[in-house]
Amino acid sequence: MANSAPKVAEAERFETDRAISLKAKDIANLIKHSKHFIVFTGAGVSTSAGIPDFRGPDGVWTLRKQKRDAPSKATSTLQAIPTPTHMALVKLQNRGLLKYLVSQNCDGLHRKSGIAPEMISELHGNSNREYCRDCGKEYIRDFRAVAPYTKTVTDHRTGRKCSMPGCNGVLLDTIINFGECLFEQPLKLAREHGKKADFCLVLGSSLTVPPACTIPEIAGKSKRGKLGICNLQSTPLDHLVDGESMRVFARTDDLMIAVMGHLCLEIPQFVLRRQLTVKVVMGERDRNQVILQGVDVDGTPSTFLKSVRLEGSRRPAVTEPFTLSFRMDGQEELRLKLELEFMGNYLEPNVEIVHSTQCSERLYLLEYSPYTREWQVVAKDYCELSEVPTFLDFTEIGANGP
């Protein structure tokens, strides 16, 4: 924590736009011709979203070492919009150029931006992700799913219970605090991809926290691997970079905008994407129910709704899974008008979906632009899907349907 940072931070260095562009061209060529390109990210990729870093001149640990308060204007990680760097990595993923992402960040912006779950190791956890101590089931939340740590930093209980049938286990956050061991599987995958990498690009990391920092080191020491580092301060691995053009002193956004320009790839604008299952259960004596549940792209339960209201019902459903009763009154079909209320981190307005009782289960794909504050909704029947769509399927469907 603060003890790991110097009292006086090293001065940040900024190269000229021309120097950044020339180095970005070399990096773009390496990305284009690499067979296994990976990226390693630190807090520097999120600073332009308003989230402070740790060891910069105004970093969290630096200020604590100086006994000064953290920046008062810091943006909440829940409200932060993924940066050009985040979105550039999503584009590289979708084009098949980025093979894997290793991150030290807990802010959840990589997953929110559109990096697929199987494409990332969040080595230090995710403040929006918790898991069951008993069955291991994960949950993605649109709120901070972090333990209060009132007694000890090793008590990761969030206060919620697992909702899987027959479980009811205690939920724990995924944050790795100083002195704790990393989760085995993410670290294992990160090391495997570090060994495979023929090019590893470090973005916005001081590379001072082990064992995470050993991942770029693996690539840098490999005979066939090349290492590039973009950070405003020096790092302990600078001596391993593959030539002067691979060591860039710049903001990560400035470098990645230039890299994407040389690759002739447009950086996409951030769109908040959500998936919702709606299931109709017909019961005896007209006791029918409609059940709504948010899901992530890999089927993991995802909490992003505050409430659901069914037209004609007096009370909204406010707990997951959102369950509402309705009557058919002899009708063959009823079109259920469901009003969705979101957490509102991006000032999302309510949106209405209309679900037919003739469809037993349907997946709704929801896209929200924080810039226009508009939702786009696409419906897919589960009978048309072999499995829950991946993120790439989602981006191909688009706003106007398949």
Q: Is 278 helix (H, G, I), strand (E, B) or coil?
A: strand
251, two tokens: 């903001």
Q: Residue positions in the annotated binding site for Zn(2+)?
A: 132, 135, 162, 167
Cα–Cα distance, 66 to 60 (Å, whole number): 10
307, two tokens: 């409430």
Q: Residue positions in the annotated binding site?
A: 132, 135, 162, 167
Q: Is 89 helix (H, G, I), strand (E, B) or coil?
A: helix
Alpha-carbon torsion, ordered 255, 33, 199, 90, to 10 deg: 50
- List CB contacts of 341: < 8 A, sequence separation 6 or more: 305, 306, 307, 308, 309, 316, 350
CB 216 within 8 A of CB 241: no
Alpha-carbon torsion, ordered 108, 47, 30, 18, to 10 deg: 160
Cα–Cα distance, 307 to 292 (Å, whole number): 10
Please say if 33 is a catalytic residue: no
- List CB contacts of 399: < 8 A, sequence separation 6 or more: 367, 376, 378
Instruction: State which amino acid sits at residue 206.
Output: S
**Which of 36, 86, 110, 124 is the catalytic position?**
124
CB 232 within 8 A of CB 13: yes
319, two tokens: 């707990």
Q: Is 355 helix (H, G, I), strand (E, B) or coil?
A: strand
272, two tokens: 């908040």
In what helix (H) or strand (E) does residue 55 lie, and over which residues does it extend? none
Cα–Cα distance, 351 to 11 (Å, whole number): 48
Cα–Cα distance, 385 to 15 (Å, whole number): 50
In what helix (H) or strand (E) does residue 220 lie, and over which residues does it extend? helix 214-221
CB 298 within 8 A of CB 391: no
177, two tokens: 């605090």
Residues designated as active site: 124
